[in-house]
Amino acid sequence: METETIIETTDLTKRYGRQTAVNGLTLKVKEGEIFGFLGPNGAGKTTTLLMLLGLSRPSKGAATVCGLDPLRMSKEVKRHVGYLPENVGFYGDMDAVQSLEYVADLNGFKKGEAREKIDDLLDLVGLKEEARKKTAAFSRGMKQRLGVAEVLIKDPKVLFLDEPTLGLDPEGAIQIIDLIQSLNKEKNITVLLSSHNLHQVQKMSHRVGIMIGGNLIAEGSIDSLAEEKFGVGEKEYSLEEIYMKYFQEV
């Protein structure tokens, strides 16, 4: 695995009025890593992702993504980063193919190139059958898979996934997780993932960060976090136990 740093933040802070959404976040994510962002609702995970995309302006601090400053080079950063927002939306009167075509258009694809790519992607996410169905009729799981296909059109180096498995049935969640893992292995895509589902995060992530109230409380591999909290021992601790331990201490 490569060890180059692909995302770096130093003292990244975002304030809304008096409220601090993200407080002095300093973080490094290496290329080819799956990094799990944990934390309760409103902990500042989404805000962090938006700042890394250059969609939100940090109050203080700086970030680099793929060696670029998202604040000044937002467009270039977005060329390399695919962002799947929580509850991704679609134009209801478009079908899956049209929806993908629009995203391809926005990415500056030529008509012919896009066609082929869209077919491949629909195959990859398993929506071949529903290619001509209007997205308004899509189930939650199908929407999520179409969302993944949309972010993959640009051949991203980095994926930001905001709650990718939220509201999915277990089978759908497993499909998404498998897809993310295979993308990470085969294409060496770095994944920054935020989730509440600790089991899934534990299963996928190489490293995790725990964020509570805008502060990054802990960061590291699951084993190292367990060691820090419970000491070295025979017992394997689940991420849930570790998380709760951190959570209680705050």
Partner 1 sequence: MQGLYAVFKKELQDHLSSYRFVILFALIAMVSFITSYMAAVHMRGNLEGLASTKFPFLMLFSTPGAMFSMVQFVAFFGPLIGLILGFDAINRERTQGTLIKVLSQPIYRDAVINGKFLAGVMTIAVMLVAIVLVISGFGLAFVGVVPGIEEMWRLFIFLIISIFYISFWLGLSILFSILFKSIATSSLASVALWIFLSFFISLGAEVVANTVAPIDRKNEVQPEVVLENARIKEMVSLSSPMVLYSDATATIIDPMRKTTRSIILVGPMEELLSARFQNPLSLGQSIVIVFPHIIALIAITLICFAISYLVFMLQEIRT
Q: How far apart are CA 31 and CA 218, in angstroms?
A: 20
Contact at 8 Å (CB) between 194 and 49?
yes
Task: Name the site residues for partner 1 (rule: CB under 8 A).
Answer: 46, 50, 53, 55-56, 74-76, 78-79, 81-83, 85, 87-92, 102-103, 105-108, 147, 150, 154
Measured from the CB atom, is 7 or 225 closer to partner 1?
Answer: 7
CB of 108 to partner 1, least distance (A): 4
Contact at 8 Å (CB) between 52 and 78?
no
Helices (H) and strands (E) in the chain, counts: 9, 9
CB of 225 to partner 1, least distance (A): 29
Measured from the CB atom, is 111 or 235 closer to partner 1?
Answer: 111
Measured from the CB atom, is 147 or 209 closer to partner 1?
Answer: 147
**161 strand-pairing partners:** 84, 193
In which element (H, E) is residue 194 found?
A: strand 190-194
Measured from the CB atom, is 14 or 35 closer to partner 1?
Answer: 14
Q: How far apart are CA 158 and CA 6, in angstroms?
A: 8
CB of 105 to partner 1, least distance (A): 4
CB of 101 to partner 1, least distance (A): 9
Number of residues in the chain? 250
Q: How far apart are CA 231 and CA 208, in angstroms?
A: 18
CB of 65 to partner 1, least distance (A): 12
Measured from the CB atom, is 4 or 108 closer to partner 1?
Answer: 108
Q: Name which of 121, 171, 173 is nearest 148 in CA terms.
A: 121
For 52-81, the DSSP string reads HHTSS--SEEEEEETTB-TTT-HHHHHHHE
Measured from the CB atom, is 15 or 30 closer to partner 1?
Answer: 15
Measured from the CB atom, is 42 or 185 closer to partner 1?
Answer: 42
158: buried, middle or exposed (CB in 10 Å: 19+, 13-18, 0-12)?
A: buried
CB of 21 to partner 1, least distance (A): 11
CB of 84 to partner 1, least distance (A): 9
Q: How far apart are CA 181 and CA 34, in angstroms?
A: 8
